[in-house]
Each structure stands twice: as C-alpha cells, then as structure tokens.
Amino acid sequence: MFGACAPTAERLPVAGIEWLTPCQPGKIIGLWNNFRAAAEKNQWAEPAEPLYFLKASSSALAHGRPIPVPAAYDGRVAYEGELAIVIGRRARAVSVADAPAHIFGYTCANDVTAMELIGRDPSFPQWARAKGMDGFGAFGPVVETAFDAATASLRTLVGGRERQNYPLGDMFFPPAELVSRLSADMTLEPGDLILCGTSLGVLPMKPGTTVEVVIDGIGTLANTYGG
C-alpha cells in the first residue's frame, strides 16, 4: 500500500462493501492544544512544542462501525473531529522540509474521549485510558493522498446538527512540523496515524447519536455511539 500504487478504475457500489480502516496503524498519536481558537477561548498558553498522547492501536474503528459504550466507565464520552496524518515512509528525526515526503496522505478521525477519566485521580492523569478504549479511535473512510490542510476546513455533525466548523490552517504545528518534531522523539512507521488535535465545539455524546466528521477533499467519517 505504501509503495507504488495507482488507480485501478474499478468501481463498486457502496451498498455492497464492508468498510475497514484504510490502514492498520502500529501507533496512534493524538495532539492536545494544537489550535489557536481553542487555546484562546480556554486561556491555554501557546505550546512551545507539540503536546501529545498515545491511543491504543486496538482503539481503531472503521467508518460505519458503532462506537462501543465503555463497559467499565459510565461518565461522559465526547467526540472530537480531527484531521489525521497517515505516515507512508519510516521517519526518524526528519527535517520539516523532508517531512512531506514521509506523509502518505490524510483521513478523517474522531478522537473519542472518556472525559471524566483524565482528571479523576489527582495523582495520575489517565490520558491513555480515557483515549484508548475499544472503538475510541475511529478514522476513515479513505486516505486522500492529494490534500492541502492549509486551505481546508473540518465540520463535525452530531445527530445532523453542526457542532464543529474550524479551519485546519489554525494549527500551532501544521502537519509537516508535527511529523518532523514527533519523529525526533520516536520512529514513525508506515501506517502510523497522527491526529492533529481539535478545536472548538467538543461536547459529550448520548448513546444512539451519529457523529459525522466531514473534511472537504477527503470525505465523511460517520459512526454511531452505542448503536
């Protein structure tokens, strides 16, 4: 998939296919506080470097699949519509200038979060658990290899109602810089995902609610929470 690839011109009816995740990430990296508008509203300082966490690879969920309601947590669960970078070539300590050559493409993501878990224990913020439950890493439906994040916007629809609408160019650390900086900390492998963070409009979901993450030029990721 990440080597030589070309369109086949084959077409299949959507109704007759089973959606899978468009790649199998070895790791999923999520950004915190990467959008200026959200930082300004929440009075967060501009980060000096990317602030990130890891989501379990087992949290990956395909377009159209239901997001499971957690069995061991009964608090609020939030959606977060995000742009995701798909790594195409091994990247280790690459420069910002060389980073685009290591990006295979982009996809839509929903960084689902068990909101009340993160700060529930004052001695240990539970980012991994809150972000890494089964189904909490929905992404898809496709990987778009020709996409310009600087000029695109993202919308999140919850039950058909628009809840997020923000420009992807508002990032503190745009995709090439994210790949460069993160590759200085850890080797990025083909298929790895970097979730670029979210902006204003994050709210809890109710079971049975369908969440659609829409990025013009990529497509629509749709999943129903608990349904």
pLDDT band of residue 5 (cuts 50, 70, 90) is confident
Tokens linked to 57: 């690879």
Mean pLDDT across 204-214: 97
Q: Domain 19-84+93-156+199-224 is in which class?
A: alpha beta
Encode pLDDT of 148-178 as tens digits: 999 999 999 999 999 999 999 999 999 999 9
Contact by Cβ (8 Å): 208, 227: yes
Q: Is the pLDDT of residue 227 over 80?
A: no
Average pLDDT, the chain: 96
Count, residues in the chain: 227
The Cα-based distances of 131 to 10, 195, 204 in angstroms read 37, 12, 14
Backbone angle region of 64, left / alpha / beta, with phi > 0 → left and psi within -120 to 50 → alpha? left
Encode pLDDT of 30-83 as tens digits: 999 999 999 999 999 999 999 999 999 999 999 999 999 999 999 999 999 999
Separation CA 166–CA 71 (nearest Å): 33
Domain boundaries, the chain: 19-84+93-156+199-224
Q: Which sign does the torsion angle of CA 176, 177, 179, 180 carry?
A: positive
pLDDT at 137: 98
Range with the poorest average pLDDT among 3-17, 87-101, 129-143: 3-17
DSSP-derived 3-state class of residue 40: helix
